[in-house]
Structure formats: C-alpha cells, structure tokens
A and B are shown apart, each in its own frame.
Chain A
C-alpha cells in the first residue's frame, strides 16, 4: 500500500499535521517524518512503477529506477541531516516549509510523467520561499519575492513545454527527449519546441549562466537552517531532470563549463561567505552539467555521484556558516575571523566540508568529481579537461581556503561566542561522517550509480592521488604567496553587481524611462489637441459673436440680394 504512494508524500502530508505538535515538538516531528519517509523508500522494490488514469490520460506518478533512486536517497539523507540541524528552531512554519519542500523534491525525482513533475516542481518553489521569508527582514521578503517569481516562471515554462510536447508527440512521459542512450550525443537544434521550453525551465532551476543569479540573491537571505534545506534540493532536482531528459546534448558541455568558471571569479571578491557558498554551488553544478553533456556511462555516473557527495558537503558548509550566522549574527568576512578559538568543532567540520569540495583524497569530492574530469579525458576533449582543472583550482580558492580561512582564522575579529548548539553540531557531524565515509568506502556509492560501467572506475591510483595533491597543495601555496605579498584582494564591505542588476536596477529604470516617455507623449498629444480645439472654438466665437460674419445683424437689402441669388441658382439647377 505504502509503495503505491509517491515517495516523499509522507513528508508533504505529515508536514500539514506538524502544527498539532506545537512549537516545542514540531522540529522532532519533522525529523520523525524524514526518517519514516526514508524507511518507506528504502523498502521500495527496484524499477517500481505506479500509474494513475486522470482525465483519460495515464499518468506515471511513481517511477523508481536507478537514476531516481540515488537522487531520492540523497534527498532523504539531506532532509534528515537538515532536520537534526534545525531541531532547536521553534518556528513551526519553517519545519512545515522544509518538509513540504523536501518531500515534493523527492516526489519530483520519482515522477514518471511531466504533469506530476510539474506539480512537484511548483510545490518545491512555493514551499521553499517560506524558508527565505522566515528571516523576517524587508531584504529577505524582497529577495523571496524575486526567487518565487523566477521559480514560478520556470514552472510555467515546464508546463508550456509539456503541453507543446504532448501536442506534438501525444506523450506526457518524462524520458529522454531525443531518445538517446548513454554514449550517444545530440544537439539542442534536434529538439522540438516543447523540449526546448522544458530545457529552459530546467536551465533556470539549474542556474545556467545568465539565468543563475536567483541562487546568489536568495540563498544568503534564508534562515541559518533554511539555507541548508535550500542548498540541497532545487538545483539538484534540475540536475536530475537534465540527466533524465537531455543527457548527451553537446551544448550542455559548454554551458556547464561556463558555469564552473565564472562563479569562481565572483567568489574571490564576495564578502558574504554564504553568498560565496552560493557561487561555489553554482560552480559545482557546472561539473554536473558537463557530465550530463558528455553523456557517457562514466560521465553520467560521475554526475550522479557528484550530486550525491555535493549535496552532503555543501550542506555541511552551509551548516557551518549557519552556525556562525546564529552565533555572530553575520557571515560577512570583514566582520569575522579568529572564530576557531570559540567554535572549534564548527571549525573542524567546516574544514572537512572544505576539503571534500576541494577534492582532497580520502574525502568525498575526490571520488566523484574525478569521474567527470576523467570522462572528459576519455573523450580526448583537451580544452574542456584543461578548463575543468582551472575550475578545480578555483574551487580550492573559494571553498577550500576562503570559507574556513576568513571565518575561523585570518585576523582575529575579537568576537568570542558560544559554540553552536548540540543539534547543529550533530547535523554537521552526520554530514562530515558521510564526507569521510564516502571518500574512503567509495565502492558503496559506486554500486548505487545508475549505469553499469564496462570498466570499473578506480579513483585511488598513485598517479591520480599525487596529481590531485599537486594541484591542490600548489594552489594553497599560491594563496600563501598572494597573502604574504598583499596581492590577495582584501575583503571589503561592498555589493558586487551580477545579472540580478538587470531586473533590480536596469528594468525598473527602463520602466521609469518608458513611463516618463509615455507621459511626455501623452501630455504632448493632449496639449496639441487642446490647442487645436481652442483654435476651432476661437474661430467659431469670432464668426458668431456680435461682429462676426455669421453672428452680426445683416441689412434687408443684402438679405434680399442673397435670396435672389439663391433662387436664381435653384432655377438654373431645375432647368439643367
């Protein structure tokens, strides 16, 4: 019975009952829901499918195969970890939002048709915005509104694309839009209009270049615990959907490559460390999109493995910054420093997360990211391979060094705060445990990957370990060199413009200018018309006033003369 319901539905329905537990126990209720949902999901049979007929169309509301299974599993792990991390929060709204959000994301990646996907897609958007609004500031309210508008646009594009696709093909099934299998490649030009609209919807949610800035705008404005939820689901749901529908699309390789590169430069100069993490998230998504674009078994497995590891270490990094935000009240690098003295455990967990994202051996990033880079190498794509190496050095910069260094070390800010609450530390411990466990016991993850590989991928070869250590350690040496020579850009309080400038400044300005122009034109037309009308009235007035031609008193002889003329004309007309 339980398996005929979409996975995650326990969390969505159960969330609505959380208010019954009161402020004190709703957090525990949320944790219990996540665990119960995982227990139900764990016993789901392989290749499980549930169909439902609605309005004469068969909807595939549950489709659990290997690709959806690994994503749904890591979503559950993220939901449980984030729930533990949020146990101290007394705001029931946040727990409801978190559970509905996580549950709908899980249901979305187990959806076999595009209508179910659309419903879950929109539910993730509507529920997650409350995690931003819960901060309770004007800034977070505005940021949440922008987030919601962009997410809903993505949903509308998805629905429009699904309708067009259904019209063209008669199918609502959510599968590969070109029917490609791993190893085959295609192009965006081969897609129909419906599939192109769906790709755009996924691109918005997946933070493609130029469509990305909702991510850096909204995530730093979430609550300390809410951002941990946010970091896990939305963008990775997009990655899952891209892997399902568009694997092997050549254009995705270069889109992904751009995504790995431009955020690292923004991250260098960003002061808010949660915003640095949002750029870093964008950069990590880039690796996954490259893997999807390459479209081989190795690269797609790499994408799934990297998404799995990334969700956990990124949650860990956001958790460490959330703890700093809770205790210090800010995550601005200019205000922080020296926190290792008062938050030693948070420091250690943050360093483990930073080491994982940078890809140090024995930590999770090493065994997943390398699969994607190796897949690029196997395809002999030299430029791509080189650019991914640059991006790897960039990851070392913004997440490997900058986050832990400026928060916990650097110049001592003099702030002495309490260590994070026990539940936050436990949440970080669970995530850190997974980072290390996945790095060491990598076969456990590899056997969950969606595709069977002809040649088993072995991450721990002397060459790979030594090469990776060279890259990372010499990058760290470069940091020391730049700091010692004062060439590293100092942290300053500033706002750095990104594409959100277009809709936060340029569009309002253009609308203002447009409004002013319309006003001027309108005023001009009114003035002209009034002037014309005034002229006509004046003329009539002059004609009909006492001295006017038509208004004055005429003599009898003149009247008789004109009457005679008129009668004469009538006579002539009568004859001819």
Chain B
C-alpha cells in the first residue's frame, strides 16, 4: 500500500507526551467518578423506574445489576479471547507459506 506520509514532519519535534498522555490518571479518576455517579443516579431516580421504564425481568430491579453485568461480561469476553487465541493463533504469514 502506497502511503502519503513521505512529507510528514520529522519525528523528533513532537515526541514529548501530549496533554492526554500526561493526564491519564485524571481520565481514569473521571471514569471512576462517572461509574459511581451512575450508581448514585440509580438510587435517586429509582422511584421513576417502574413507571417510565417497565422492567421486563426481576433481575433488572437489583441495584447495580447492569454495572456488575457490564464489568463481568467484559472480563469474561477478554478471558475467552485468551482461550480462543490458544487454539487459533498462527504465524502472520500462515496463509502465505
């Protein structure tokens, strides 16, 4: 594939960490706060849930169900990835050789 980065600026003048890279911890803290905020919001808005969003299953009524589910499902998918990789991983040129 022909690339068009031949005229790109040199690598050196922009090598220092960007504002985002310098504030990774702040972003993580922001995420944790947002997570806590959703749990608090669930407590605050709970009385409105049953009227505006009829729950289809009892499990939905458990406090923080979707939070736990999201976390566990994500971890489970990634671990399944580890397992799958053991079976299907081959060299990059597998089909070319």
Decide: A389 near B67, CB < 8 A? Known: A416-B10, A489-B82: no
A269, B18: Cβ atoms under 8 Å? no
| Interface positions of A from 472 to 498, Cβ below 8 Å from B | 472-482, 487-489, 492-498
- A341 interface neighbour in B14, B75, B93, B94, Cβ under 8 Å: B14
CB within 8 Å of B: which A260-292 residues: 264-266, 268-269
Inter-chain CA distance A149–B67, complex, in Å, is 45
Contact B35 A414 (CB under 8 A): no
If over half of B's interface residues share one DSSP class (helix, strand or loop), that class is named, otherwise mixed; here it is: helix
B64 and chain A: residue at smallest CB distance? A470
Q: How far is the CB of B74 from chain A (nearest CB, A)?
A: 4
Flag if A504 contacts B9 (CB, 8 Å): no
Q: Which residues of A contact B28 (CB under 8 A)?
A: 480
Interface size classification for chain B: 35 or more
Closest partner residue, chain B, to A143 (CB atom) = B95
Contact of B53 among A461, A481, A496 (CB under 8 A): A461
Contact A463 B53 (CB under 8 A): yes
In the bound complex, do residue B66 and residue A396 qualify as a contact, i.e. CB atoms below 8 Å apart?
no
Q: What is the distance, in angstroms, from B43's C-beta to the closest C-beta of chain A?
A: 10
CB-CB under 8 A for A462 and B18, given A467-B66, A478-B70: no
Residues of B within 8 A of A378 (CB): 56
Contact (Cβ within 8 A) B7 A478: no
A466 to B47, CA, bound (A): 13
Among residues 237 to 268 in chain A, which have CB atoms less than 8 Å away from a CB atom of chain B?
264-266, 268
Which residue in chain B gives the minimum CB-CB distance to A464?
Answer: B53
A135 and B92 CA atoms in complex are apart in Å by: 20
User: With A268-B81, A325-B1, A474-B35 known to touch, is A394 a contact of B67 (CB < 8 Å)?
Assistant: no
Q: How far is the CB of A296 from chain B (nearest CB, A)?
A: 14
A341 to B14, CA, bound (A): 8
Q: B84 and A269: CB pair below 8 A? A: yes
Give the chain A neighbours of B93 by CB distance below 8 A.
495
Query: Please, which residues of chain B bring their CB within 8 A of the CB of A135?
Result: 1
The answer on a CB contact under 8 Å between B38 and A385 is no
B70 surroundings in chain A (CB, below 8 A): 393, 396, 470-475, 478
Please state if B73 and A329 are interface contacts (CB–CB under 8 Å): no
Please report the C-alpha to C-alpha distance between residue A264 and residue B67 in the assembled complex, in whole angstroms.
19
Q: Are B92 and A416 in contact (CB under 8 A)?
A: no
Residue contact B18 to A340, C-beta cutoff 8 Å? yes
When the two chains form their complex, are residues B5 and A329 in contact, meaning their CB atoms are under 8 A apart? yes
Structural contact, B34 and A473, CB atoms closer than 8 A? yes
Per-residue contact bits, chain A 427-470, to B (CB 8 Å; 1 contact, 0 not): 00000000000000000000000000000000001111011111
Which residues of A are found within 8 Å of B20, using beta-carbon distances?
A: 340, 409
B23 at the interface (CB under 8 A from A): no
Asked whether A377 lies within 8 Å of B9 as measured between CB atoms, the reply is: no
Q: Within the assembled complex, what's the spacing in Å between the Cα atoms of A139 and B91?
A: 16
> A414 and B66: CB pair below 8 A?
no
B81 (CB) vs chain A CBs: closest residue: A268
Q: Is the interface of A mostly helix, strand, loop or mixed?
A: helix
Contacts A329-B1, A493-B92 given; does A479 touch B10 at CB 8 Å = no
**B37 → chain A, closest Cβ, in Å?**
9
Interface-centre pick from A135, A327, A393, A397 (highest chain B CB count, 10 A): A393
Interface residues contributed by chain A, number (CB under 8 Å): 70
CA distance A137 to B92 in the complex (A): 17
Contacts of A464 in B (CB 8 A): 53
Nearest Cβ on chain A to B4's Cβ, whole angstroms: 6
Answer whether A466 and B90 are a contact pair too, CB < 8 Å, given A389-B73, A472-B70.
no
B53 near A469 with CB under 8 A, answer no
Give the CA-CA distance A374 to B56 in the complex, in Å. 8
Q: Is A418 an interface residue (CB 8 A)?
A: yes
| Chain A proximity of B97: nearest CB distance (Å) | 10
Among A329, A475, A489, the one with the most B-chain Cβ atoms within 10 Å of its Cβ is: A475
Any B CB within 8 A of the CB of A65: no
Shortest Cβ distance from residue A372 to the other chain B in the assembled complex, whole angstroms: 13
A239 to chain B, nearest CB (A): 24
> Using Cβ atoms and an 8 Å threshold, which residues of chain A touch B71?
474-475, 477-478
* Residue with the highest number of chain B CB atoms closer than 10 Å, among A338, A482, A495: A495
B48 lies within 8 A of chain A by Cβ? yes
B40 to chain A, nearest CB (A): 10
Q: A505 to B94, alpha carbons, bound, how many Å?
A: 10
Bound CA span A462–B42, Å? 9
Chain A residues with CB under 8 Å of B32's CB are 477
Which A residues lie at the B interface, using CB under 8 A?
135, 137, 139, 264-266, 268-269, 325-330, 338, 340-342, 374, 377-378, 380, 382, 385, 389-390, 393-394, 396-397, 409, 412, 414-418, 461-464, 466-482, 487-489, 492-498, 504-505
Q: Which 3 A-B pairs have the closest CB atoms?
A: A268-B81, A463-B53, A377-B56
On B, residues with C-beta under 8 Å from A are 1-5, 7-11, 14-15, 17-18, 20-21, 28, 31-32, 34-35, 38-39, 41-42, 45, 48-49, 52-53, 55-57, 60, 64, 66-78, 80-82, 84-85, 87-96
Q: Report 14 cross-chain contacts, Cβ distance below 8 Å, ordered by A residue.
A: A269-B88, A390-B76, A394-B77, A418-B8, A470-B42, A474-B74, A478-B70, A480-B28, A481-B75, A482-B75, A489-B81, A495-B94, A496-B85, A497-B87
Task: Please give 9 more A-B residue pairs, beta carbons under 8 A apart, in addition to A329-B2, A474-B67.
Answer: A266-B84, A385-B56, A389-B73, A412-B15, A412-B17, A462-B48, A471-B67, A492-B89, A505-B95
